[in-house]
A and B are shown apart, each in its own frame.
Chain A
Amino acid sequence: MSKDIQGVGLGIASRFAGSEFAKKYGLRRPAEKLAYVSTKKGFEVIGQMMANKAKKKSDDPKMLPEPSTAGLFDLTLSEEQQMIKDTVRSYAEDVVRGLAHDANEDMDLPETYLQDIMDLGLNFFSVPETLGGAAQTYSPTTNAIIAEELAWGDFSLAYATLAPVAVANAIVKWGTQAQKEALLPDYLATTPVKSCIAVQEPDALFDPAKLSTKAKKTKAGFEISGVKSLVPFGGKADTYLIAARYKRRNRLFVVPGNAPGIEWTKAPAMGLRATATGTLKLDKVAIGKDALLGDDSFNFEAFMDLGQLHWCALAIGACQAALDYLIPYVNEREAFGEPISHRQAVAFMIANIGIELESMRLMVWRAAALAEAGKPFHREAYLAHVLCSEKAMEIGTNAVQLLGGHGFTKEHPAERWYRDLRVLACINGGMHL
């Protein structure tokens, strides 16, 4: 790890303090506080700041309530979301991007990566306040913003960072009260949890509605058998959240990483290489009675939709990274005596990346906002994934194209975005906003 994490934290905080945003909302002083503690649980601090601010506002009769925007079309981020966005982007820029190349080559996470990123406090932000976390509400839109900003640094490292967060999100959303109390404290501990959701199976015509992985009831609990693909963390995960067929429905089971009958074998793919993906075989794995996540109200379709939206949000981050990388490149690269961006053939590709990237973002935000409001969002999530699958790969391939031969080499990150973005149209599950 090349950067001193404490220095990075201070960098984030000072940049925030100097931002227009901090000025506008009179947050300089809290930002100084943030600088002091940001090396510990940055998000916890943001959460507390927002809570204090809200409290102060309601206590002070002179403060007018903010005008209600309920029911209006609106794309304004909340103050909290804006702070989170700025903080995560800073981290992605200062830390994540710099680690991406080597992590991809090493096909593993940098040694202290998961421990270091604990300091950002993302886990805290998933766990509700009542259970010791910092989340005031469950917010798929905020989670989408986090995914996008982190993936701006690197798709693969963002996946590794957020896979356990996704498990926490799924537990928060679907778990019983007893499961929340039993499982979520792990996500607030000082050592990182390695956990992930596993749905995808190695079948060319895989349909998540028809899982081959089966669970059956036993005296002691359940027994699961099946095979799962693209499972990260090099077989070292503490916990897997496994999707399996049970009583003619698709359900999720909490399976300890060291349960007898589990076998992980290395299975690299064209992308997501930093996460050390592999194939997980479950051979009559016995788990306890409390392993079945949630109750009969569990909605597999909504669970999958939140997963696909999470992947889409990651892809948006990588596509934004590509656009931000391409603009200075095509402006500086010269051919025939002028920057190549002066040619419409090049400029129009940039325009279309900009247009489709914004399309992707609006589609994902719309579905996430519906989910957050507790409204039906299946159609919107489905269509968001259809659009993002196509456009993300289009942007990925054009990013390499615009860099020409350079784009084909590992001198530039475009070929990595290209490989990572290919996953979007192939993947089913594994994440959860």
Chain B
Amino acid sequence: MINLENPKKFRALVNQAHQVAANVFRPISRKYDASEHAYPVELDMLAAIMDGMNDGTTGEGAGAGKLKQDSGAKKEGIQNGTNMSTVLSLAELCWGDVGLSLTLPRQGLGNAAIAAVADDEQFARFGGKWAAMAITEPGFGSDSAAVRTTAIRDGDEYIINGEKIYVTSGERADCVVVWASVDRSLGRAAIKSFIVEKGTPGMEVVRLEKKLGIKASDTAAITFTDCRIPATNLLGDPEVNVEKGFAGVMQTFDNTRPVVAAMAIGVAKASLDRTREILKKLKVKADYRTPHKLASQLEAKLYRYEAEWEAARLLTLKAAWMADNGMPNSKEASMSKAKAGRTANEITLGCVEMLGMLGYGEDELLEKWSRDSKILDIFEGTQQIQQLIVARRLLGKSSAELK
């Protein structure tokens, strides 16, 4: 039955997330924007709350550590599950602050990867830890297959060598999921992911990036020099399957892209809400009564932004809904990320413009949101990568044909 309203069963969870966003994140939002690299001590308390939310009464929870493509076979009928609840609650948290949401303990992208592919033994060892994700290297960004970091098998161990950059929570996390090649002559099929625990000899955080936005979240450069890890830390199948290739590692993204889209939806909503609030005091009503083309410039802009925002939100919910119901959603996940990423950036920048100096100045958080939003159209696959994926799916083209 067609229904595009937020499911009632997640109302309490979403409200909880909103309370955290409004009462914990917002009051410290500017503080950690101004003091980049300072650890937000308030978050340790929050981690406990998040764990509580995960184990909450709905029994399904939310968050990176819970994300999994449901098989769809085990339950009867249509499901609204973990993907949906994660997307909904994360959008609320990011309405409070994207940077702080990103640095929530145990909510890293590595946690999503572990949840998606770890076996029972690995899940028992790492499920409760905070895991960052290390993919990007100085020599490549979007072209994930160009990994130069190597993992060479030596008895019961792998020896990792290489340099990773842009590792979100790379300094704060308990461990890092590292993408490395077990045999560079075999191309992308040889790329596997490995869990490296913090403190492993040979792993070193060498730098923290200074950034345009999301300053509350640490972004680390990490080097691996003859870093030895147990062979059992390899996630997924250790065999190099040239036929199957890269698909396994890339699969994680189908689950995490709607999550990043949800972040974009959260920050865009923050800008829209605040802009509406300010404009309302200035007698700009935007009450959907005047036909769009007869509305004032400010009203028409608000309507347009709201329409774009709703569209991005619905695309994201659709992608999450598909994942919850075991439907392949690679195209829809990328659609949601492409739409939400660019829309959030346009809206947050547009809201600053609409309010002039009030928007541009640091007295309001609007300028901050417009800086924070930019990364959401870049990480977890840039706008252009998402379009490439969508185009390949629609056109039936391989990555060799449509480059």
Chain B neighbourhood of A207, CB < 8 A: 290-291, 294
Q: Is A347 an interface residue (CB 8 A)?
A: yes
Nearest-neighbour CB distance to chain B for A397, whole angstroms, equals 18
Residue pair B288, A366 in contact (C-beta under 8 Å): no
Q: Is B401 an interface residue (CB 8 A)?
A: yes
**A71 in complex: contacting residue of B4, B9, B306, B321, CB < 8 Å:** B9
**A358 in complex: contacting residue of B315, B392, B395, CB < 8 Å:** B315
Residue pair A205, B318 in contact (C-beta under 8 Å): no
Q: How far is the CA of A380 from the CA of B77 in the complex (A)?
A: 28
Residue pair A73, B311 in contact (C-beta under 8 Å): no
- Nearest-neighbor residue (CB-CB) of A375 within chain B: B5
Residue pair B314, A359 in contact (C-beta under 8 Å): yes
Q: Is A72 an interface residue (CB 8 A)?
A: yes
Q: Which of B45-53, B154-162, B191-199, B383-391 contacts A (4 or more CB under 8 A)?
A: B383-391
Residue pair B397, A342 in contact (C-beta under 8 Å): yes
**B394 in complex: contacting residue of A327, A366, A378, CB < 8 Å:** A327
- Nearest-neighbor residue (CB-CB) of A390 within chain B: B304
**B335 in complex: contacting residue of A74, A323, A347, A354, CB < 8 Å:** A354
Chain B neighbourhood of A339, CB < 8 A: 401
Q: Is A351 an interface residue (CB 8 A)?
A: yes
Q: How far is the CA of A200 from the CA of B293 in the complex (A)?
A: 15
Chain A neighbourhood of B339, CB < 8 A: 355, 359
Nearest-neighbour CB distance to chain A for B1, whole angstroms, equals 5
Q: Is B78 an interface residue (CB 8 A)?
A: yes
Residue pair B307, A387 in contact (C-beta under 8 Å): yes
* Chain A 374-400 interface 0/1 with B at a Cβ cutoff of 8 Å (1 = within): 000011101111110110000000000
Chain B neighbourhood of A72, CB < 8 A: 3, 7, 9, 78-80
Chain A neighbourhood of B310, CB < 8 A: 363, 366, 380, 383, 387
Nearest-neighbour CB distance to chain B for A401, whole angstroms, equals 16
Nearest-neighbour CB distance to chain B for A141, whole angstroms, equals 5
Q: Which of A20-28, A33-41, A75-83 contacts B (4 or more CB under 8 A)?
A: A75-83
Do A67 and B5 contact each other (CB < 8 Å), given the known contacts A207-B291, A331-B396, A386-B303?
no
How many B residues are at the interface, by size bracket? 35 or more
* Chain B 351-392 interface 0/1 with A at a Cβ cutoff of 8 Å (1 = within): 000000000000000000000000000000000101110111
- Nearest-neighbor residue (CB-CB) of A209 within chain B: B289
Residue pair B394, A75 in contact (C-beta under 8 Å): no
Q: Is B76 an interface residue (CB 8 A)?
A: yes
Residue pair B391, A73 in contact (C-beta under 8 Å): no
Q: How far is the CA of A383 from the CA of B9 in the complex (A)?
A: 26
Residue pair A73, B288 in contact (C-beta under 8 Å): no
Chain B neighbourhood of A114, CB < 8 A: none
Interface of chain B residues 280 through 331 with chain A (CB within 8 A): 288-294, 303-304, 306-308, 310-312, 314-315, 317-318, 321, 331
Residue pair A78, B1 in contact (C-beta under 8 Å): yes
- Nearest-neighbor residue (CB-CB) of A367 within chain B: B4
Residue pair A365, B4 in contact (C-beta under 8 Å): yes
Q: Is B109 an interface residue (CB 8 A)?
A: no
**A74 in complex: contacting residue of B293, B311, B321, B331, CB < 8 Å:** B321
Chain A neighbourhood of B294, CB < 8 A: 205, 207
Nearest-neighbour CB distance to chain A for B212, whole angstroms, equals 25
Do A347 and B303 contact each other (CB < 8 Å), given the known contacts A207-B291, A363-B314, A383-B310?
no
Q: How far is the CA of A380 from the CA of B315 in the complex (A)?
A: 15
Nearest-neighbour CB distance to chain B for A402, whole angstroms, equals 12
18 further A-B contacts with Cβ under 8 Å, apart from A341-B397, A355-B339, A363-B307, are A68-B77, A70-B1, A74-B80, A75-B4, A141-B2, A208-B291, A323-B394, A341-B395, A344-B384, A347-B387, A351-B388, A355-B338, A358-B315, A358-B318, A362-B314, A368-B2, A379-B288, A382-B292
Q: List 20 A-B contacts (CB under 8 A).
A: A74-B321, A75-B4, A327-B396, A331-B396, A341-B395, A341-B402, A342-B402, A347-B388, A347-B391, A347-B395, A347-B397, A355-B339, A359-B312, A363-B310, A365-B4, A369-B3, A382-B288, A386-B306, A387-B310, A428-B291
List residues of chain B with CB under 8 Å of any chain A CB.
1-9, 76-80, 84, 288-294, 303-304, 306-308, 310-312, 314-315, 317-318, 321, 331-332, 335, 338-339, 384, 386-388, 390-392, 394-397, 401-403
List residues of chain A with CB under 8 Å of any chain B CB.
66-78, 81, 141, 205, 207-209, 323, 327, 330-331, 339, 341-342, 344, 347-348, 350-352, 354-356, 358-360, 362-363, 365-366, 368-370, 373, 378-380, 382-387, 389-390, 425, 428
